Amino acid sequence: MRKKQFKIFSKNRGNVKDCPKCNKENPNDAEYCSCLYRFGEDETTALIEEDPSKKAVREERQRKFIIFCITIFMVPVIGIVLTAILKKTGMDSPALMISVGYLERFFSMFLIVWFANRLGYSIAISLLLSAIILVPYMFWFPFAVLFMKYASLQKVKPVASIIETK
């Protein structure tokens, strides 16, 4: 529970009363103590609570952000499972694997843009966010797979072994 601080402004400083919670002296006409005790009420209702509408909005944003993070981390897992299923069924050609990888990455870009938009960001910012997260992931891994496949088919020697033989 968030507590809000209130300053006590008093017109009459002659009479003081003690706070039952913190034993501080307070002006007689003060409604709140510096410990947020509200005079005239019991201690269970004396603390000032946060505005319920602001609390609901904050909790909703936290819930959406958690779902957003789970989605970002679940999309690659779904891609890995789909790739494993394709390999198990015998459809493990590099072109098909790369196509599945690109579809998975574009789907995750769509989800990132959608969730960022739901969290209140503009479309441009959400596209930038998805690009920052996924562009390195989209281009480095497929080209590495293609290069490894090409190197194994053509029996390409690593650069270090070529230099050593000269």
Q: What is the pLDDT of residues 86-103, one digit of tens each?
A: 778 887 777 777 777 777
Task: Give dist(CA 34, CA 36) in Å, integer.
Answer: 5
The chain-wide mean pLDDT, for the chain, equals 68
Q: Is the pLDDT of residue 105 over 60?
A: yes
pLDDT reading at 44 higher than 60 = no
What pLDDT does residue 15 have? 62
Under the banding of pLDDT at 50, 70 and 90, the label for residue 165 is low
Longest dimension (CA), the chain: 99
Residue 58 is predicted with a pLDDT of 82
Residue 47 predicted with pLDDT over 70: no
User: At 18, phi and psi to the nearest 5?
Assistant: -90, 140
CB 111 within 8 A of CB 67: no
Please say if the pLDDT value at position 151 is more than 70.
no
Contacts of residue 137, defined as CB under 8 A and 6 or more positions apart, other chains included, come to 76, 105
Q: Is the pLDDT of residue 59 over 80?
A: yes
Q: Which amino acid is at 18?
A: D
